[in-house]
Amino acid sequence: MAGEEPRIDPWGTLEVKDYKRLMEVFGIKPIETVFPLLEKAGMKPSVHMRRGIVFGHRDLDRVLEARARGERVAVLTGFMPSGRFHFGHKLTVDQLIYYQRNGFKVFVAIADAEASIVRRIPRREAVRIGVEEYIANMIALGLDPDKTEFYFQTARGTPYYRLAQLFAGKVTAAEMEAIYGDLSPAKIMAALTQAADILHVQLDEYGGYKYVVVPVGADQDPHLRLTRDLADRMGGIIELERPASTYHKMQRGLDGAKMSSSRPDSTIFLTDPLPEARRKLMRALTGGRATAEEQRRLGGVPEACTVYDMDMYHLMSDEELAKIYRDCRSGSILCGECKLIAWERMKALMEEHGSRLEEARKIAWSVVETPRF
């Protein structure tokens, strides 16, 4: 598709393959450009930034400069409560924890409005999933509920809704079509609601956080572009800063295609029974060769391997990861053995998570206000 602008559909199944091109076309800057500033703000690059999983940003430099000046800074993201919590979600939560430990205020939107209008998830079900799957798992992973503001989109109060309404007057159908393709009332509402998620914490009613970073998968960039424009256009009504954002490469499923709770065989959920998780991992698509002989001779291809993805996103230290990479490339390790190493790590992680989750489930309903209708 040379020369043609890629359009990203945030509700589609499109896989974002060409992250470099995304940066060129949409002006997302390489994440490395903020490394010196991170240091100035007293922070270190996160493990996901170091590994290029969080690969790009817009305006993160402005937030870090504010932080270095001693201003209040926040991080906000949202989750659609449409299925079980899996390792792809963990990647985003790990980023929230990183910012939290570095003094950022954390906001988490449970996008129940979006789940019900775009995905047709019954309201009650979306609330249950939001609390018992998303909030509980986030707390179990280490997000501190005392320093996190979780909220449901449909329980957020008037000023937040007012923003979404006012945004509707600041964008044309043609502009939205150019960003999203085919429009529907549901998509328009969901997009304006998401813009309200991102911008409302700047209102005094919600803490007045002017410097906000939004960590998302690259598929969410259309929403960020719309939100930035809306922030610019609200002048005269209310002054809003543009949000900063970071973009991560979404983890592939174990078959190499999109990871999604609707494809449970290629997605490991943090609450999978261990034998089931093990079975999924053992069947995962690797970058191995057709025969052991060939693999010893040619080596494997970690870049093509979903087990290596797991190692890199969730399971291993830099040294361990470098060793797997070398051993795979040189053919000195075969996939069976390599999977067992990954499984040992994953098993330990999931066992620990399981016991923390039991505790987290006891408090999850009490850390968020649930919608009354």
Residues at the interface with ligand SF4 (CB under 6 A): 286-288, 300, 302, 305, 307-308, 324, 328, 333, 335, 338-339
Q: Work out whether 108 is an interface residue with ligand TRP (CB under 6 A).
A: no
Q: Least distance to ligand TRP from the beta carbon of 219, Å?
A: 8
CA–CA dist 315, 343 (Å, integer): 9
CA–CA separation, 167 vs 153, rounded Å?
16
In the bound complex, which residue of the shown chain has the CB atom lying closest to ligand TRP? 78
Q: Does 214 bind ligand TRP (CB under 6 A)?
A: yes
Residue with tokens 């923003």: 163
The nearer residue to ligand TRP, 260 or 370, going by C-beta atoms, is 260
Q: Could you please report the per-residue DSSP string of 58-122? A: ESHHHHHHHHHTT--EEEEEEE--SS--BHHHHHHHHHHHHHHHTT-EEEEEE-HHHHHHTS---
Give DSSP secondary structure letters for 149-206. EEEEGGGS-HHHHHHHHHHGGG--HHHHHHHHSS--HHHHHHHHHHHHHHHHTTSGGG
Q: Could you say which of ligand TRP, ligand SF4, none residue 286 binds, taking C-beta under 5 to 8 angstroms by partner kind?
A: ligand SF4
Stretch that binds ligand TRP, among 73-81, 133-141, 231-239, 248-256 (CB under 6 A): 73-81
How far apart CA 370 and CA 201 sit, in angstroms, is: 19
- The nearest distance, CB 52 to ligand SF4, in angstroms, is 17
Q: Are 197 and 124 in contact (CB under 8 A)?
A: no
| 218 interacts with, out of ligand SF4, ligand TRP, none, CB within 5 to 8 A per kind | none
**139-198 residues near ligand TRP, rule: CB under 6 A:** 194, 197-198
Residue 77 touches ligand TRP, criterion: CB under 6 A: yes
Q: Which of 247, 259, 194, 189 is nearest to 221 (CA)?
A: 247
CB of 126 to ligand TRP, least distance (A): 12
By DSSP bridging, strand 211-217 and strand 244-248 are parallel
Query: Closest CB to ligand TRP among 11 and 308?
Result: 11
Q: How far is the CB of 183 from ligand TRP (least distance, A)?
A: 16
Partner touching 245 among ligand TRP, ligand SF4, none, CB below 5 to 8 Å by kind: none
Q: Pick one of 59, 94, 112, 114: the residue that binds ligand TRP (CB under 6 A).
A: 114
Binding-site partner at residue 288 among ligand SF4, ligand TRP, none, CB < 5 to 8 Å by type = ligand SF4
Binding-residue total with ligand TRP (CB under 6 A): 13
Cβ atoms < 10 Å from Cβ of 144:
12
For residue 218, state whether it binds ligand TRP (rule: CB under 6 A).
Answer: no
Instruction: Using alpha carbons, list the distances in angstroms from residue 69 to 33, 65, 106, 244, 342.
Output: 19, 6, 19, 17, 42
State phi, psi for 309 to the nearest 5 degrees.
-55, -50
Q: How far is the CB of 330 from ligand SF4 (least distance, A)?
A: 10
Rule CB under 6 A: say whether 78 interacts with ligand TRP.
yes
